Amino acid sequence: MARYIIQRILWMIVVLFFISLITFTMMHTVPGGPFDQEKKLPDEIVANLQERYNLDEPYWKQYLLYIDNVVVPEITQEETASMLDETLINIPLPRGYYFRWMNFGPSYSSRSRTVNDIVRDQLPVSIQLGLISMTVALLIGLPMGILAALNQNTVWDFLGMSVAILGVSVPVVAMGPVLIWIFGVALKWLPPTGWGAQPPYTLFFIPRTLFSWDFWRYTLMPAFAVGTGNSAIIARLTRASLLQVIHEDYIRTARAKGLAERTITTRHALRNALIPVVTILGPMFAAVLTGLFVVEQVFGIPGLGRYFITSITNRDYPVIMGTILLYAIFLVFANVLVDITYAWLDPRIRYG
Amino acid sequence: MSDTVYSGADVAPSLWRIRLKLAWKSFKRGWNMFRENPIGLIGLAVILFFGLMAILHPILMATVWEQRVYDPIIGYDFEVLAHPSPPSWLPQPDVPMHTPSLRHVLGTDPLGRDVLSQLMYSTQSEFALGIMAALVTVLIATTAGAVAAYFEGVVDIILMRLADVILMLPFIAILIVLSSMFDFQMIHLAVVYGLLAGFGGNTIVIKSQALSIKVKTYIEAARIAGGNDWHILFTHLVPNLLPLSFLYMMFTVTNAIFSEAVLSFFGLLNIRMSWGIMIQTAQAAGYLLSSWKYWYLMFPAGLAISLLCSAFYLVGRAMDEVVNPRLRKR
């Protein structure tokens, strides 16, 4: 088991290097740099800027410098390396030392904020939205899937699965405005745009206003818009998995023992049927978190997805690189976690 | 020396005909199974409806619709007071005495173009995008999956590791970056999407299916009869993978249309008109979120995406029951 975990983690690191290399090459093969403006800058200024951001070095050296900054942790005594706080992980150690890791560098378009500042401001909002969306997806999807499986080939089953298919097929681009029209403009129940939490956050992403309606009223519509699509996936998976389980022999045994139908469903069937559903939650959360661009744009939520679009228009390469790398870390981590979970559940994979 | 020496040329046409007959037979068997499922038929009907819309647009432009007014990209209706205008059979906000007409069945957009014309015109490109992306995906996934399963060893490891990497790419973010840096048109999106989807998850699925076919006796028989690797791959392995490939093709179409909507929404694609562009036009002019009054700007395109995607999804599900014996009811 330990060997398998080490194998997967090593592979995870290789994948991340590969993704960073792809992104870096992609970004540096296109003509036009971040300092190309309508009014041409004087050559000396461009030269200075390029030196400041290491843009005058050859590409391979730029890449190595970037990787060095991101990957290699530093232990320093200084308060901060510069005026700007450039590292994402910054832990104070005893005797005035600091453990600094993941330096994503400066932002080209924002003079006062580094990539790290941007991530620290925007990512928590995306995580909040992603977590609430997942909760909505579970709250809708699980009951729907269970209901459909227990009443297989009845009206309930048909209805539930039709709703699921529609949920998968309605894009957020269409769902968002309709929700805003109904609940934000016509009924005026919920604020149409905005977000109800500001930094600082406790534990990186928990807002101080967690228990107030002020926070939740902003989250309901976007979470629903994202959640329905995923609830459909959860519903389908729950249905399929539960259908497979209730035809197993041990369910028949339980029934033959004379157990109540309710006990059989909750204790014997559901507990086993939910294993695939639980394992998909990790990758699903990573996928949701890295795909929030449209919903954040439509609902005006200050998350990382929305900032990513801004940095695309600004050609803010370090922000683009940093965001993609962070997203890749989430995705890779979630997938490796599932692999390890499966290996733990099923020994055949471990030794396969 | 006997006279009955069969050369390849004598045998080939009949063999070809037999193969065609067999394919037709298995298609008919599949179709009969597919036909029993109302879900698949509903999906197919919706797809046919959209196909009809796509075909009807050039015909309408040539006959009924005046080019100047109804062109989906550069048309403008001077006889309507204010654009955007709601469907012309509904009361108009600026006209006190309104006689309902069918001049603009779905209204006009902020630039004075007919929404129905745009909707129908875009259907063509959505179909082209979806089917092209799906074809690229199927081509790559089937070849890569079959090759990985058949040859094993280094080829298998390389292809599977590649699939692993592509699976873990932040898909939409990469598409956004690519489309913002390069001049992306529909065909580019289709090819890039097909590449990413083909080498990613689909390869893994197809490979697992190919592994189960590889151990069948007819593959062994072909090898004993002296067939070389490529012959076995493309005449025995790949044809048996195609049903599953086409199933995954259905889901690729849906996802490709979705990503087109996302990229168009951010204005990153260099295309003149699509369902995503229609929504983006409404958004760029500030009508998308302002009020329910302008529902006709977003609703048709949003509904069209939802309907066409669910139709492909339904057909995919129905095909799933035909292709996967495990899911059959009997």
Burial B135-153 (b: 16+ CB within 10 A, else e): bbbbebbbbbbbbbbbeee
- Residue A300 CA to residue A214 CA, distance in Å, equals 16
User: Cα-flanking dihedrals φ and ψ of residue A61, to 5°?
Assistant: -75, -40
Find the residue in A nearest to B162 (Cα): A15
Question: Which two structure tokens, joined as six digits, stand for A185?
Answer: 């403009």
B325, two tokens: 């014996």
Instruction: Report yes or no: B240 and B213 within 8 Å, Cβ to Cβ.
Output: yes
Contact call for A324 and B302, based on CB within 8 A: no
Using one digit for the tens of pLDDT, what is the confidence trace for B279-326? 888 888 877 776 677 888 888 899 999 999 999 988 888 888 787 766
| CA–CA dist A302, A39 (Å, integer) | 30
How many angstroms separate the CA atoms of B173 and B177, rounded?
6
Residues of A in Cβ contact (< 8 Å) with B174: 23, 324
**A236 three-state secondary structure:** helix
Distance from CA of A10 to the nearest CA of B (A): 13
- Nearest CA-CA distance, residue B302 and chain A, Å: 5
The reported pLDDT for the residue numbered B223 is 87
Closest residue, chain A, to B177 (C-alpha): A312
CB-nearest partner of B165 from A18, A168, A297: A18
Give, for all 352 residues of chain A, the pLDDT tens digit.
Answer: 788 889 888 988 999 998 899 888 888 777 666 666 666 777 787 787 777 777 778 888 888 888 888 888 888 776 655 555 777 777 778 887 888 888 888 888 877 888 888 898 899 999 999 999 999 999 999 999 999 988 888 888 888 888 888 888 888 888 888 888 889 888 889 998 889 888 788 888 888 888 888 889 999 999 999 999 899 889 989 998 998 888 888 888 888 988 888 888 888 888 888 888 988 898 999 999 999 999 999 999 999 999 999 988 888 888 998 999 999 999 999 988 888 888 887 777 666 5
Query: Which contiguous run of DSSP H or E holds residue A90?
Result: strand A87-92
CA dist., res. B296 & res. B282, Å (int)? 10
DSSP class of residue A182 equals I
- Which residue, A56, A66, A75, is CA-closest to A103? A66
For the record, the structure tokens of B133 come out as 């992306």
Spell out which residues of chain B touch residue A335, defining contact as CB-CB under 8 Å.
167-168
Identity of the residue in B164, B289, B313 whose CB atom sits nearest the CB atom of A168:
B313
| Beta carbons within 8 Å of A342's beta carbon, 6+ residues apart | A279, A349
CA distance B82 to chain A (A): 22
Positive or negative torsion for Cα A230, A234, A239, A240 = positive
Give me the half-sphere count of Cα atoms (radius 13 Å) on the Cβ side of residue A115.
Answer: 26
The Cα B230–Cα B12 span in angstroms is 18
Please indicate if any CB of chain A lies within 8 Å of the CB of B182: yes
Token pair recorded at residue A153: 């080939």
User: Does A279 contact chain B (CB < 8 Å)?
Assistant: no
Cβ contacts (< 8 Å) between A327 and chain B: which residues?
Answer: 170, 173
Q: State the complex-level ipTM.
A: 0.88
B 252-311 near A (Cβ less than 8 A): 254, 258, 261-262, 265-266, 268, 276, 279, 288-292, 295, 298-299, 301-303, 305-307, 309-310
Q: Has this prediction a pTM greater than 0.90?
A: no
* Residues in chain B within 8 Å Cβ distance of A182: 292
Of A148, A293, A327, the C-alpha closest to A231 is: A148
Which of A24, A169, A190 to probe by mutation at the B interface, max B CB count within 10 Å?
Answer: A169
Average pLDDT of every residue of chain B? 85
Q: Give the C-alpha separation, B148 to B153, whole Å.
A: 8
Produce one character per residue of A115-144: b if its CB has 16 or more CB atoms within 10 Å, e if not. Answer: bbbbbbbbbbbbbbbbbbbbebbbebbbeb
Decide if A232 touches B, using CB distance below 8 A.
Answer: no
Q: Which residues contact A4 (CB under 8 A, 6 or more apart)?
A: A340, A343, A349, A350
* A324 with B170: Cβ contact below 8 A: yes
Backbone angles phi, psi at A210, to 5 degrees: -60, -35
Tokens linked to A78: 């200084």
Q: Is A310 on the interface with B (CB under 8 A)?
A: no
Residue B85, classed as helix, strand or coil, is: coil
CA A289 to CA A142: how far, in whole Å? Answer: 20
**Residue found by looking up tokens 């150690």 in the block:** A93
Residue type, A172: V
Phi first, then psi, for residue B236 (nearest 5°) are -115, -40
Q: Which residue carries 């209901």 as its tokens?
A: A147
Please judge whether B170 and A328 are an interchain contact, meaning their C-beta atoms are less than 8 angstroms apart: yes
